[in-house]
Amino acid sequence: MTPSIQEDPRRWWALGAIAFGLFMALLDVTVVNVALPAIQKGLHESYTSLEWIVNAYALVVAVLLVTSSRLGDIFGRKKIFGVGMGVFTLGSLLCALSPHIHVGSLSGADVLNISRGIQGVGGSAMLPLSLSLITATFHGRERGTAFGIWGGVAGLATALGPLLGGVLVSKVGWPSIFYLNVPTGIIGILLGLWAIHESKDEHHPGSIDLYGLVSLTIALFCLVLALMRGNDKGWGSTYILVLFIAGGVSLVAFVVGELRIRHPMLDPRLFKIPSFTGSAIAAFTVSAGVYALLYYLSIYMQNYLGFSALGAGVRFLPLSALVLIGAPLAGRFTDRIGAKWVLALGMAFMTGGTLFLTRLGHATVAADWTMLLPGLILIGVGNGLVNPPISALAMGTVKPRQIGMASGTSNVARQTGMAFGIAALAAFLANRYNHTVHQSMVALTIPHAPASVKTAIMHGIKAAGPIAGSLGLKSAGPQYTHQAIFPQIAAIARHAFLVSTRDTVWLATLFVAVGLIATVVLVRKQDMMHHQASPPERSTLGMRRQALIVAVTAAWMARRGAAPDATWDEEERLKKALALIKQILEQR
């Protein structure tokens, strides 16, 4: 008889190896945010290029998540998880070396974006398989604790990223945020080889859904690219309309095709389960509304308020500190009171936190950053609470054979939300920035200057973009900065950035609020299948012990029930005991 995986003495070491991979994959989602101004300065890149540094990773992860999860089901989750860590580590090394790599006409930023995509390939394996490995390794109450630790690591990685990035950028340089992953990845690979128990889906057909992979890739790429280039090309331009149409058609083709394929990479029927849909919407909106927002808050802290990368990271510290407290508690409370209300509470905290952050419209000097502190605290608490119940709902509302797909789909929602959030918030911020610049320039009076001069100045501020505006157009040449009107122009650009960032936070708040509403309306207790702790997944010895106890109890109760003085309550207990024995025998 094979021993139960739950009895494996290395299972907590295995959780440590899984945590290494998860931490690396999620840390890079936010650690880059605080380094963006330094990267832009070092590589001399545009605002759009900065978006790609973030989105190249998130987009590749989103597209390949489910396929990587299925590869784990076929060839072994431990094996694919380890390969993913290796690819991620290699991508990190290439990111760090990107300023020194010269291939053809590719710039340093091009190499960095490609290397971020390579990181995404590795991350696409580590993120979904981390959940699948925990599900295969832990059972019963231990699984709830393991999910709580998983949620804590996930929240810590995303929240600690700005602080760690700030320290490394300020003290060492921006390539160091990628060098850090190299030794961490090697340790994680070696620990995983020793501690993780191999598992796979023995009933999996062994095929890859290439149709789904290609159609989803085209859909996501076209839609995200359209959002990123809409302001530059014009929202009504042929270029943007073609991208939206191609993305929409590909998405419809993906859904229709997946419904017809026997073994799809992502079964749309999962979304017939209200609780699964609610958790996916929550995961999407948290990434789109909170994690994507950190990208813009980092630029605001550094460029507008004038903090260093380290100073900005320190001010994000409430996020990481409170995640450490909230996540383990969320894992335990999810088991006790149900995932719905833990998730709803976390979403409420995050909605309130982002709402508080809209006060940044009044924070114009460094000392005003404390206006944002209540919002950061609320987001930190909420961030710690939401991850465990999202995972519990994704895994607990589907059949055991669908766990791999459910895990992948949940992570697709997270990463797609991140890519969508970065692109959508960027498009909205640029649009509001241009609108505010236009209004301010119309109200500006320039003595003895024709209207064409004001128009030229307005187009110049818009072309410089929000990031240059946040710095007060400091990168403008001396032929502009020496002009008497320049301080007014710089003030207009900074004001436009502040107003547009505040409005962008309002949009992020709306995203998170949608997730809160979806949680309250869609998540239901009856959708939980409870297979996570069901008798078939317990050890054989544990099942026999339980069956023996129930059988002895039932025999005693049967004797009592046969007595003339047997009460109605005893009769009912007898029926329940016999029904439990029948259930155990059927589930075996």
Least confident among 172-186, 205-219, 484-498:
205-219
| Distance of alpha carbon 88 from alpha carbon 117, whole angstroms | 9
The one-character DSSP state at 265 is S
Least confident among 169-178, 265-274, 279-288, 317-326:
317-326
Q: Are 362 and 502 within 8 A, CB to CB?
A: no
Chain segment 358-386, per-residue pLDDT in tens: 998 888 888 888 888 999 999 988 888 88
Q: Is the pTM of this model over 0.85?
A: no
From 112, 123, 111, select the one nearest 28 (Cα to Cα): 123
Least confident among 64-73, 502-511, 562-571:
562-571
141 pLDDT exceeds 80? no
**Mean pLDDT calculated for residue range 251-265:** 87
| Distance of alpha carbon 62 from alpha carbon 408, whole angstroms | 9
Chain mean pLDDT for the chain: 78
461 pLDDT exceeds 70? yes
Least confident among 79-93, 267-281, 352-366, 398-412:
398-412
Q: Sorting pLDDT into bands at 50, 70 and 90, what band is 571? A: low
Q: Sorting pLDDT into bands at 50, 70 and 90, what band is 331? A: low
**Mean pLDDT calculated for residue range 319-332:** 71
**Mean pLDDT calculated for residue range 12-28:** 82
**Which residues lie below 8 Å from residue 132, measured CB to CB, with a gap of 6+?**
69, 72, 73, 77, 199, 403, 404, 407
Tokens of 352: 């309130």
| Distance of alpha carbon 148 from alpha carbon 388, whole angstroms | 6
For residue 356, what pLDDT is reported?
A: 93
For residue 2, what pLDDT is reported?
A: 40
In whole angstroms, how far apart are CA 51 and each of 33, 97, 459? 10, 20, 22
The one-character DSSP state at 172 is T
Higher pLDDT, residue 584 or 172: 172
Three-state SS letters, 199-237: CCCCCCCCCCCHHHHHHHHHHHHHHHHHHHHHHHHCCCC
| Distance of alpha carbon 90 from alpha carbon 118, whole angstroms | 8
**Mean pLDDT calculated for residue range 149-169:** 74
Domain layout of the chain by residue ranges: 9-197+265-433+497-532, 209-264, 434-496, 534-587
| Distance of alpha carbon 17 from alpha carbon 25, whole angstroms | 13
For residue 541, what pLDDT is reported?
A: 37
Chain segment 405-449, per-residue pLDDT in tens: 777 678 778 878 877 887 788 889 988 999 999 888 888 877 777
**φ, ψ for residue 466, nearest 5 deg:** -60, -40
Which listed CATH number (1.10.730.10, 3.40.50.740, 3.40.190.10, 1.20.1250.20) goes with 9-197+265-433+497-532?
A: 1.20.1250.20
Tokens of 183: 């030794």
**Mean pLDDT calculated for residue range 212-241:** 83
**φ, ψ for residue 413, nearest 5 deg:** -60, -40
Three-state SS letters, 564-577: CCCCHHHHHHHHHH
| Distance of alpha carbon 467 from alpha carbon 464, whole angstroms | 8
566 pLDDT exceeds 70? no
**Which residues lie below 8 Å from residue 397, measured CB to CB, with a gap of 6+?**
273, 275, 276, 279, 406, 527, 528, 529
Q: Which of 204-213, 371-380, 447-456 has the highest mean pLDDT?
A: 371-380
| Distance of alpha carbon 476 from alpha carbon 529, whole angstroms | 61
For residue 546, what pLDDT is reported?
A: 42
Q: Are 416 and 546 within 8 A, CB to CB?
A: no
Q: Sorting pLDDT into bands at 50, 70 and 90, what band is 279? A: very high
From 322, 357, 36, 49, select the one nearest 165 (Cα to Cα): 36
**Mean pLDDT calculated for residue range 471-495:** 77
Chain segment 494-517, per-residue pLDDT in tens: 899 999 999 999 999 999 999 999
158 pLDDT exceeds 70? no
For residue 579, what pLDDT is reported?
A: 55
**φ, ψ for residue 362, nearest 5 deg:** -105, -5
Percent of the chain topping pLDDT 70: 81
**Mean pLDDT calculated for residue range 450-471:** 80
Tokens of 573: 């207990």
For residue 539, what pLDDT is reported?
A: 36
For residue 192, what pLDDT is reported?
A: 85
For residue 52, what pLDDT is reported?
A: 76
| Distance of alpha carbon 411 from alpha carbon 32, whole angstroms | 20
